[in-house]
Structure 1
Amino acid sequence: MRSQKYIVVWCAILLAAIIVAPVNACMDVVVGKDASVDGSVMTSHTADGWYDSSITLVPGQTFEEGAIADVHWNIIGEEPGPPVKIGEIPQVKQTYSYYNVGYPFMNEHQLMIGESTIAQKEELATFRGEKAIMTIEQLEVFALQRAKTAREAINVMGELAEKYGFLPSCANMGESLTIADPNEAWLFEIFSVGVLWNPESGEPGAVWAAQRIPDDHVFVMPNVSRIREIDLNNPDYFMASQNYMQVAIDQGWYDPKSGKPFIWQEAYVPKTGDWALSSMWCRIRLYLVYSAAAPSLEWDPYMSTELYPFSIKPEKKFSVQDVMALMRSTLTGTVFDMEEDPGWLVPGEDNKMEKSPFTTPFPVDDMHNLLTIPYHRPAAKYNCSYGFVSQSRSWLPDPIGGVLWFYHDNPHVSLYVPVYCSVQKFPKSWQTFDRDHFSRDSARWAFAFADDLVNRRYQDAIKDLRAVREPIEADFFMMQSAIEIAAAKAYEQDPELAKRFLTDYTNACMLRAEEAYWQLNDDLIQKYNNNKGLTP
């Protein structure tokens, strides 16, 4: 009977991986403080797939001894309905304020977290209903509530995952987080330990490792494990669970008597699959970021994942806008540029072949098949829910130093707005979204609608969109220094005054972006309806 149960379990795991894996795939780019133009520590995230993108502030609280913290499933909002309680743990005395979205991403102390699912070997998988209860998004909640620094966050998440078990929430895969504070950034990777784990066993319910990104380096997480050798004798750069090697030994994936070094990435990650070591989905994004950081090295676009260094010192320092450009990339100018496929060519003037105005970097599957255009996974995706680029800055007070540049929907067409880590409230329209019902009362619908309209006549409409977006974003960056100087002066008088000032400014930026995109949508409909300018 027990064997029949686990046959059913493995079939469910395989089915979940087949259904979800090709859809959800996120990317993070990290910049150390000495690799950024202004000394910011930066991380970033694209939430590719259907996730809740409504920003909410969860205020910090003080609790009495013996209080309980609930543990939930579906915090990310990928499934219909609200989060579901699946467990509970002891609450701490004091929690910090944090900002919740699909994957919780920022707290009041400038602690920022990006997420990216990574493959794990199928023997490690477990699922809801077994003993493990800590999803990656729930771990993020507890980290943001209980930690001020990246190292503290890693310790919080590692201890909780070991004690209560890591529960995959995306295709029964492993997870990674890029964690930034005002001084440094770390990569945290975690895998589950199988369906047979029980907290009463005394064994850890997860296997995890973390590696620090050097301060003068740039790093990318493209849905594949990046950690290789782990040196726990160098605690300034490495952290890991006590069983980080033992799980692989027990599974027969590593023999300590072999004389070979233990390679974390090779021990726990499959060779094949969408998020595996051989995946072109992952290699393309490694190539994108490393070739941008160090173009003189002439990177091989097809180079094996294992051959890329963990991180790299960029030839020039990165700005926030540089990271945004990478997150918006559709692989233009690379060998993977889908817009340059000859399948898009049509007869033009004098029967000369020219690019169709319907050429797009986001062709749907039927279009790929019809025009025989091979798919190459870009950084920007049409089915992205939201994303951000964050700045944590040690020379500014926390309420001013932490700013997260946030967008709804596809980064290629959306607009980044500044959200400070002291904001006390948000416009109702930025907290409202129903994926099944279009509404002009929802900011996310403004950006999703623009994404759809632009993609219908991409070659022409993307120019209209950029004409609206670029001046607004330029204004936001131009105003940043003056806004923060004013906020700092207010902070000296009264920290709460500074928070109100930054709340008002953030809300004004959000509403300006939203209103501009609703007007853009109206203009695109008027300009291109019935394919104006193309039909006879």
Structure 2
Amino acid sequence: MKKLLVLIFALVVSLSFACTDIVVGKAASTDGSVITSHTCDGCYDSRIQIVPAADHAEGEMAPVWEWIVYADRRPLEKLGEIPQVPHTYKYFNVAYPFMNEHQVIIGETTIGGRRETMNSEEAIMTIEQLEVFALQRAKTAREAIKIMGELAEKYGYRESCYLGECLTVTDPNEAWVFEIFGVGPLWTRDSGKPGAVWAAQRVPDDHITCVPNMSRIAEIDPDSPDFMVSENYISTAVELGLYDPESGEPFVWREVYGGVKNAGMGSRVRLWRVYSTLAPSKNWDPYDAPDYPFSIKPERKVSFQDVISLFRDTYKGTQFDMTEDPDWYVESRDGWVKSPLATPQVDGTWRALLDITYYRPIARYYCSYYFVSQARDWLPNEIGGVLWFGLDNPENSLFVPVYCGITDVPESWKTLDRTKLDWNSAWWSFALVDDLVNQRYGDLKPKLDEVMIPIQNKYFQQQEAIEKAA
């Protein structure tokens, strides 16, 4: 009965969240790459724009913008400005900016959390603006986290999706999970108090982790080099009534701020899928996902192609495979058979029509863009950093290499208007294919894979030759 209640509550909560990040340490990967990744699920700006490095005059100010995530369809609004630095690095801009010229690479996933942490109206630093400043100013993951933490404390963290955010921050040597929350609606700039509370934990080199819209950091050791944390991480929780130091209970970050015990079933099942795939002997229980360890040692080395496979995942062959829902079966002369309409990309219309039990998969039909990255310390930055990037649903789209050293992308990857069909927009091409496949998934998915998988494998096979030639 307890698990049933958890399932009912979690299914409701999970419908509002999106985005999945998978992280692999350099000693856990097959080739020594540090890997992070990101599915940007929802309706966000998926245009790749490369912002060049620049020198700046003394006294110059840098604008602080809101609505970077929706810049494809609404104007940016200036919330303020901060002192500019003398030099800013080249970075790649999308809804959530993801890479700079030094192989600092960032994935994003909203983690929600306790409502008491909602931001003050005086706060101006959204997570995507923090990413911009980090990528413009940092050469390492540690530097990026320090920059974002300091700016958020000084200028206030401002939510742009829902409450707390997580960034998976990597460089050629390290991988980190950075989580940040607001400090409540009463904060003011002149209060003298930090305008954000944040913590970051390093992923051990021989470990992997996954952040599927739920806080993952547990107990914190502020004296360990594997943690970075704001000084107010306990005091703010006490002020907001989230933690009583006299209770004798340990301070568990993901419970105090993240409210992880209320994590949606969509988050639980995604974390279960990643951990059970990469460490299958542990017999993970999906209902216990909020209590899973922060990171685990995989039972075999993990390649970036393995992460891509997980990003295409729809729980096929598991108890959460929505194509096996009994409502997809129809009676025929040969008995009950599965309809070719059965799809794992079940939208609200199908759920309402057939009463299908929904489990939010890693691959979603309304993903804007996604990537799996490699940061490699044995190669020059120009080719050492590469994002295997794609548009729309990762299950039915390609992962295309985007190297750190490029200075431009095709015009079709910079063009996006979701309100009208545009054959000159790459997003529209991939979105239409996915939409068509899901009209008759049972018949069309195999036909798509016959074409798509050989192309994808060709990209993989060409990587070594391309990098040698470069």
Letter in 2 for 1:189: E
Match of 1:131 in 2: 122
Is 2:426 aligned against 1:433? no
For the residue of structure 1 that corresponds to 2:446, the secondary structure is: helix
CA shift in 2, pair 1:78/1:365, >3 Å = farther
Letter in 2 for 1:159: E
Letter in 2 for 1:317: K
Tell me by how many angstroms 1:203 deviates.
0.2
Using the TM superposition, name which of 472-481 and 277-286 deviates more.
277-286
Is 2:310 aligned against 1:326? yes
Residues 67-466 of structure 1 correspond to what in structure 2 (within 5 A)?
Answer: 67-77=60-70, 80-126=73-119, 130-171=121-162, 173-235=163-225, 237-270=226-259, 277-306=262-291, 308-348=292-332, 350-466=333-449
Q: Deviations over 1:256-275 (max 9, x none)?
A: 2333321111111236xxxx
Letter in 2 for 1:74: W
For the residue of structure 2 that corresponds to 1:456, the secondary structure is: coil
Using the TM superposition, name which of 281-290 and 244-253 deviates more.
244-253
Query: Is residue 61–residue 95 contact of structure 1 (8 Å, CA) maintained in 2?
Result: yes
Structure having greater relative contact order (Cα 8 Å, sep ≥ 6): 2
Q: Deviations over 1:67-117 (max 9, x none)?
A: 000000010117831221111000000100000011000001111000000
Tell me by how many angstroms 1:133 deviates.
0.2
Q: Deviations over 1:409-454 (max 9, x none)?
A: 0111110000001111111111001010111011110000011100
For the residue of structure 1 that corresponds to 2:214, the secondary structure is: coil
Query: Is residue 50–residue 78 contact of structure 1 (8 Å, CA) maintained in 2?
Result: no
Separation of aligned partners in 2, 1:174 and 1:421: 29
Tell me by how many angstroms 1:366 deviates.
2.5
For the residue of structure 2 that corresponds to 1:243, the secondary structure is: coil
Tell me by how many angstroms 1:279 deviates.
1.8
Query: Is residue 20–residue 170 contact of structure 1 (8 Å, CA) maintained in 2?
Result: no
Among the aligned pairs, what percent are the same residue? 57
Separation of aligned partners in 1, 2:31 and 2:313: 23
Separation of aligned partners in 2, 1:428 and 1:135: 28
Separation of aligned partners in 2, 1:378 and 1:159: 35
Letter in 2 for 1:458: Y
Separation of aligned partners in 1, 2:13 and 2:287: 25
Tell me by how many angstroms 1:196 deviates.
1.2
Tell me by how many angstroms 1:302 deviates.
2.2
Tell me by how many angstroms 1:463 deviates.
1.1
- List runs of 5+ in structure 2 lacking aligned partners: 1-11
Tell me by how many angstroms 1:471 deviates.
1.0
Letter in 2 for 1:158: G
Letter in 2 for 1:332: K
Query: Is residue 14–residue 263 contact of structure 2 (8 Å, CA) maintained in 1?
Result: no
Higher helix share: 1
TM-score normalized with structure 2 length: 0.95
For the residue of structure 2 that corresponds to 1:282, the secondary structure is: helix
Letter in 2 for 1:251: L
Aligned residues: 459
Match of 2:7 in 1: none
Query: Is residue 167–residue 179 contact of structure 2 (8 Å, CA) maintained in 1?
Result: yes
Tell me by how many angstroms 1:486 deviates.
1.2
Tell me by how many angstroms 1:304 deviates.
4.2
For the residue of structure 2 that corresponds to 1:412, the secondary structure is: helix
CA RMSD of aligned residues (A): 1.5
Separation of aligned partners in 1, 2:468 and 2:369: 29
- List runs of 5+ in structure 1 lacking aligned partners: 1-18, 488-536
Q: Which has the larger radius of gyration?
A: 1
